[in-house]
Amino acid sequence: MRPSHRSTALALLISAAATGTLTLWGVAAAPDSVRTPLAWGAGAAAVLLSVCVAVAVHTLGTARRLRAQLAADAERFTSETSRLVSSSAVEAQRFTAETARIKGAAAAETARLVSEVRAENERIASAAAAEQARLGVTVDRLTARATRAETERSAAIAACANAAGRMQALSTSMLADLREMEHRHSDESVLGDLLHLDHRTAQAGRLADSIAVLTGARSGRRWAKPIVMESILRGAMGRIGSYQRVRLHSTSDVAIAGHAAEGVMHALAELLDNAANFSPPTAEVHVYVEEVPAGIVITVEDSGLVMSEVQLRRAEKAVSADHQDLTNLSGTRLGLAVVGRLARKHGLTVSFRPSARGGTGALMMLPQELISRASTPAAPAARNAADAGAAVPAQAADPTTAPAEPEPSHGSAAGQDRTDAAPAARPAAGSDAPASTPAAEAERPGSPVDSVSESTGGVPEFGESGLPKRRRGRTLAAAEARTGNVTPGGADHPRARTTDPKVQAARFSTFSKAVRANSPLPEGNTR
């Protein structure tokens, strides 16, 4: 039994014995009448007193035990606190030492890394400087090479432009000489050869004009008056090799502004040549002229190769006004690029679509700004427009309704006549009524030719290099003067022209035979 319980039991026993003794004595001494109630009351009081004494003793023992335990716990806590304080001091010293060690190691590592980074930066900077110097030398070399290439390119383009200008002047002069020879010679064979040379020279002039357009040089001439659409169409026909296959369908009476007539004629000639080269040799090329609210639409339709969607997009890109890249051009594919340059210059719109005839249709729209409805516009003929480089063929029948027969072979051309191949857009040899043309206007007093002669006065001009400088238009003026069209005084000297119908018929027959016997080959692909 635990000590506290023993003391409690002992106290209960003592108190019970004492209270029991007293209760027994009191009951024995009391009278008999109150002895029983007294016994019960005294017994209950004795029991209660004994319990109270036992509880008090137990409480005192428990308190004493708790005080002893508390004292022991306090002593143990004090010793544990002392131990923890000493351990904390030791840990603090160790942490301080470790912190100092880590700081020292970090400082040393930082110094090492900083030195390595500085050394690497210096190495990179020196390598970058050397590389930059090397790249600078390379860039300077490439810049010099590019500058030299650009200079050579500009010089080549300038040389091409100069050569094109010389070719234009030469073809103009040659056309004037051929025209004069055609009026002087009446022999059929000679006249046929001259007309053939005239046509080939006109094609060479178109090629020179194309080179001039691509190089940005001056191309063609500016007419003083509007040119009727019929003359534009025939002038374009006269600049291609297969003009016999072209059929015109036009009833328009509009005229094209003089400053744009040459460009429109040239662009139309390229489209016609394109259609003729990419269609069978016996197929016809049809030209339609339609007036629309936005201007004039000229449609060229052939029955040759059908262009795919990719080819149509490529062709429309080539003739678009924004397309100026000539790096992908080949020697035989210049036509669309020329058309694109002319479209950009004159505001033309060119598009392509599949033709109802089975080939490809090219549509060229002329804006209203280029259209004139003058009451008496000038109608240039190919002969009188020799300075424009156009030898215009015509048909004896109505060109809008009479299709031409397929080109005969060389073997069957000897005994056949074809009047539809005779050049009628200009006055033929022996014609008595020449049309009113810009060239004819130039032959009148006060014309630009006279002004050129008067402005020069026979005194050559010199450029910065000290070499003689030629004025524009003097070649044409000199050619016209040699052929008798323009005199120094500006007076008109009409050419002597035969009016004999037999001579005229013989000349046209000779030209027809010469054309069939010397059918020109296609000049190259332009698609």
Same domain, 329 and 369: yes
Whether 279 is in a domain gets the answer yes
CA distance 154 to 312: 32
DSSP-derived secondary structure for 124-143: HHHHHHHHHHHHHHHHHHHH
Mean pLDDT, all residues of the chain: 73
Q: For residue 150, what are the domain limits? A: 1-167
Confidence check: pLDDT of 403 > 90:
no
Find the angle CA(159)-CA(163)-CA(164) to the nearest 5 degrees: 115
| pLDDT (average), residues 466-472 | 54
Whether 320 is in a domain gets the answer yes
Same domain, 160 and 200: no
In 3D space, the residue among 191, 395, 214, 385 whose CA is nearest the CA of residue 287 turns out to be 395
In tens, the pLDDT along 24-37 reads 877 777 777 777 78
Q: How many domains does the chain have?
A: 2
Whether 348 is in a domain gets the answer yes
**Which alpha helices (DSSP H) does 185-222 contain, by range?**
188-214
Same domain, 267 and 371: yes
| pLDDT (average), residues 482-496 | 42
Whether 253 is in a domain gets the answer yes
Helix (H) or strand (E) holding 228: strand 227-228
235 HSE (CA, 13 A, CB side)? 31
Whether 484 is in a domain gets the answer no
Same domain, 205 and 59: no
The last residue of a domain, from among 141, 167, 193? 167
Same domain, 254 and 297: yes
458: alpha, beta or left? (left if phi > 0; alpha if psi -120 to 50) = left
Confidence check: pLDDT of 230 > 70:
yes
Same domain, 241 and 271: yes
Rg (CA), the chain: 60
b/e 21-57 (16+ beta carbons within 10 angstroms → b): eebeeebeeeeeeeeeebbeebeeebeeebeebbeeb
Contact 255, 226 (CB under 8 A): yes
Tokens of 201: 């020279």
Same domain, 264 and 373: yes
In tens, the pLDDT along 290-331 reads 999 999 999 999 888 788 888 888 888 888 756 566 666 655
The last residue of a domain, from among 114, 136, 167? 167
| pLDDT (average), residues 235-250 | 90
pLDDT for res 115: 94
In tens, the pLDDT along 131-146 reads 999 999 999 999 999 9
In tens, the pLDDT along 200-217 reads 888 888 888 888 888 877
Same domain, 145 and 223: no
Least confident of 17-21, 85-89, 167-171, 268-272: 17-21
Whether 483 is in a domain gets the answer no
Query: Given the structure tokens 């708790």, which residue do they identify?
Result: 66
The DSSP output letter for 397 is S
Instruction: Name, of 123-137, 173-187, 379-393, 408-422, the range with top average pLDDT.
Output: 123-137
* Cα 490 to the center of its chain, rounded Å: 52
pLDDT for res 188: 85
| pLDDT (average), residues 65-94 | 90
CA distance 422 to 395: 6
Confidence check: pLDDT of 345 > 60:
yes
- Straight-line distance from the first to the last Cα atom of the chain, in angstroms, rounded to the nearest whole number: 128
pTM over 0.85: no
CA distance 231 to 383: 12
Tokens of 455: 């402005």
Q: What is the CATH number of the domain that holds 337?
A: 3.30.565.10
Question: Could you give the dihedral angle defined by the CA atoms of residues 172, 178, 184 and 190, in that order, rounded to the nearest 10 degrees?
Answer: 180
The last residue of a domain, from among 133, 167, 201? 167
In 3D space, the residue among 377, 92, 417, 424 whose CA is nearest the CA of residue 238 turns out to be 424
Same domain, 506 and 413: yes
Same domain, 96 and 200: no
CA distance 435 to 381: 7
Whether 220 is in a domain gets the answer yes
CA distance 261 to 378: 11
In tens, the pLDDT along 323-335 reads 566 666 655 567 8
Same domain, 299 and 196: yes
CA distance 439 to 231: 13
Neighbours of 372 (CB within 10 A): 17
Whether 15 is in a domain gets the answer yes
Query: Given the structure tokens 């678009």, which residue do they identify?
Result: 320
The DSSP output letter for 305 is P
Same domain, 156 and 203: no
